C-alpha cells in the first residue's frame, strides 16, 4: 500500500470523485500507478450520448413509476433514428441528414460517434459567421424517432417522435451531445429532455456502444 499511496500523490481526490462512475475512477487510479493515459484525456470523437429513463403511470396513486429496468430484459429491443437539419451547403443535397439508424439491444446509456454531426455543426457555424450572426447564441435541431419493443411479441412498450435543439458551435469544438431523455408509456413525446455538452472518454464510448441486431 505504501507504493500505491506514493503513486497517487499527484492525483486530485476530487477528480476521482467526479469521474462519473466507479469504472472510470478505477481506470484513473490505474493510469496514475502504471503511467497509461487517463480515460478522461483520451476523448472519443464527437457524437451523441443518449441516456434513457422509462416511466409508467401507477393507476392507483397516479404517480410516475421508474421502469427503466425494462431496458435490461433480454427480449427488449430499440429502433432508433436520429436526423440532423443540414445547413444550406452544397455538401448536403437534403435538408435532413440521418446520423443514426439502428435496431439494437438497448442500454440505459448509448453512445453514437458521428463525424457527420461534427461536419454539419462546422457547416452551421460557417453559415452563422457569414451572415454576421453569433454562433454562441445560435441553435440547430435534431429529430429523434424511437421505438422500444418486445422483440419476441413485437409489442411496442415506449415510443417517441420529437425534436431537440443544440448549439453547433459546441460540437464544432469537439464536444459531444449528452442527452438525458425520459419516456412515459402511452406518450409519443419525451417527458423531459436535458441537453448538455462535454467530451466522452474512450472508456465511456466503448462501454456505451451498441451493436445492430440487423433487424
The number of helix segments (H) and strand segments (E) in the chain equals: 6, 9
How many angstroms from the chain centroid is the CA of residue 171? 13
Highest mean pLDDT among 22-31, 88-97, 128-137, 160-169: 160-169
Give the least confident one: 34-38, 79-83, 98-102, 162-166. Answer: 34-38
Query: pTM for the complete prediction?
Result: 0.77
pLDDT exceeds 80 at position 11: no
Say what the pLDDT of residue 44 is: 82
Q: Cα(144)–Cα(164) distance, rounded to whole angstroms?
A: 8
Q: Cα(34)–Cα(7) distance, rounded to whole angstroms?
A: 9
Share of the chain above pLDDT 70, in %: 80
Q: 4 or 202: whose pLDDT is higher? A: 202
Cell of 184: 412515459
pLDDT digits (tens, 9 = 90+) for 19-54: 444 444 544 444 444 344 444 457 788 999 999 999
Strand (E) or helix (H) holding 158: strand 156-166
* Mean of pLDDT values over 163-169: 96
* Mean of pLDDT values over 162-185: 96
Domain boundaries, the chain: 1-42, 44-208
pLDDT exceeds 50 at position 5: no
pLDDT exceeds 50 at position 204: yes
pLDDT exceeds 90 at position 122: yes
pLDDT digits (tens, 9 = 90+) for 141-160: 999 999 999 999 999 999 99
pLDDT exceeds 80 at position 88: yes
Radius of gyration of the chain (CA): 20
Give the least confident one: 120-129, 174-183, 203-212. Answer: 203-212
Amino acid at each position: 500500500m505504501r507504493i500505491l499511496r506514493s503513486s497517487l500523490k499527484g492525483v486530485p481526490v476530487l477528480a476521482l470523485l467526479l469521474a462519473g462512475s466507479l469504472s472510470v475512477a478505477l481506470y484513473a487510479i490505474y493510469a496514475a500507478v502504471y503511467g497509461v493515459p487517463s480515460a478522461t484525456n483520451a476523448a472519443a470523437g464527437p457524437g451523441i450520448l443518449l441516456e434513457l429513463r422509462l416511466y409508467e403511470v401507477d393507476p392507483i396513486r397516479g404517480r410516475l413509476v421508474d421502469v427503466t429496468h425494462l431496458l435490461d430484459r433480454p427480449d427488449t429491443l430499440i429502433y432508433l433514428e436520429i436526423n440532423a437539419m443540414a445547413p444550406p451547403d452544397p455538401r448536403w443535397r437534403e435538408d435532413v441528414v440521418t446520423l443514426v439508424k439502428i435496431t439494437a439491444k438497448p442500454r440505459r446509456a448509448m453512445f453514437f460517434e458521428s463525424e457527420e454531426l461534427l461536419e454539419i455543426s462546422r457547416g452551421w457555424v460557417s453559415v452563422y459567421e457569414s451572415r454576421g450572426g453569433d454562433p454562441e447564441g445560435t441553435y440547430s435541431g435534431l429529430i429523434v424517432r424511437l421505438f422500444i419493443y418486445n422483440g419476441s411479441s413485437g409489442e411496442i412498450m415506449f415510443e417517441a417522435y420529437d425534436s431537440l435543439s443544440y448549439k453547433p458551435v459546441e460540437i464544432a469544438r469537439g464536444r459531444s451531445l449528452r442527452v438525458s431523455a425520459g419516456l412515459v408509456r402511452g406518450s409519443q413525446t419525451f417527458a423531459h429532455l436535458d441537453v448538455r455538452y462535454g467530451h466522452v472518454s474512450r472508456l465511456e464510448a466503448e462501454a456505451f456502444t451498441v451493436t445492430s441486431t440487423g433487424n
